[in-house]
Amino acid sequence: MAEKLPWLAQHYPELPIIANVAGNTLDDYVSVCQAISTAPNVHAIELNISCPNVAHGGLEFGTDPQSAAQLTAACVAVSQVPVYVKLSPNVTDIRPIAQAVEQAGAAGFSLINTLVGMRIDIRTGEPILANQTGGLSGPAIKPVAVRIIRQVRSISALPIIGMGGVQNATDALELLAAGANAIGVGTANFTDPFACPKMIEQLPIEMTKYGFADLSRFAVTQEVK
């Protein structure tokens, strides 16, 4: 609030920002949402509900429909901008959680967050990360992203920002075909800072390759199952 957002407003005044909010307690989330949603260049909030709820034994907010709904409702109540909820893929069935979040007032979804993974240092036999487990992202999780986006689309017509393993324009089209309305790119930027411009340039070429002139074929149609 004091440094980053004013700097962005000065140097990129037309840039719409989605602020990612996380926390360890409900009060953490509420206080951050209330404050950051007042920034003039923050246009939406992405609520990361994959964090451990320390008040309830460390269980992720995003793995329990009731906890997810309670958190979403509290943040929507204080936010001055739309709240998109970033759902955790580390659940048996994403649909009850998505329904609970929608009923609690979410404006849309970000799908998906990272999968839980672990690496072992063979020399020591111990986990490489101090926390033992961490978030797995990148190309390996794209099939999971496609499945979860399709599942959430089957029970909700809310906007979906699709993400998870998008490396090129073909990947982006696949997530759109699964039911996403927009695409987020994360890990690819770490290996190539020009990943997004390249995807945008590739997109019309890929569309021509598959024989369609626009993205209307991917228009959202809710098919409740």
* pLDDT for residue 59: 61
Q: What share of the chain is helix, strand, coil (3-state, %, to 5)?
A: 40, 15, 40
Evaluate if residue 221 carries a pLDDT over 60. no
CA distances from 65 to 104, 110, 123, 156, 181 (A): 10, 16, 41, 15, 24
Burial class (CB in 10 A: 0-12, 13-18, 19+), 148: buried
Position 126 in a domain? yes
Cα dihedral 209→213→219→223 (10° resolution)? -50
Kindly state the DSSP code that residue 224 receives in the 8-state scheme: -
Mean pLDDT of 163-187: 94
Are 149 and 110 in contact by the 8 Å Cβ rule? The answer is: no
* pLDDT for residue 60: 77
Q: What is the pLDDT of the chain when averaged over all its residues?
A: 90
Position 152 in a domain? yes
The CA distance from 6 to 39, in Å, is 9
Position 38 in a domain? yes
CA distances from 79 to 35, 44, 73 (A): 8, 9, 10
Percent of the chain with pLDDT over 90: 74
Provide the domain limits for residue 21. Answer: 4-218
Position 200 in a domain? yes
pLDDT digits (tens, 9 = 90+) for 119-156: 999 999 999 988 888 888 999 999 999 999 999 999 99
Find the length of the chain.
Answer: 225
- Secondary structure (3-state) at 141: helix
Mean pLDDT of 204-219: 83
Position 57 in a domain? yes
Position 224 in a domain? no
Token digits of residue 15: 């840039």
Are 116 and 90 in contact by the 8 Å Cβ rule? The answer is: yes
What CATH code is carried by the domain that includes residue 188?
Answer: 3.20.20.70
- The residues carrying an active-site annotation are 51
pLDDT digits (tens, 9 = 90+) for 46-104: 999 886 555 554 467 888 899 999 999 999 999 999 999 999 898 999 999 999 999 99
**How many independent structural domains does the chain possess?**
1
Residues 6+ apart with CB under 8 A from 107: 44, 82, 83, 84, 158, 159
* pLDDT for residue 36: 97
Position 171 in a domain? yes
Evaluate if residue 222 carries a pLDDT over 60. no
pTM, two decimals, is 0.89
Position 223 in a domain? no
Cα dihedral 184→185→186→191 (10° resolution)? 180
What is the helix (H) or strand (E) element at residue 102, kind and residue range? helix 95-103
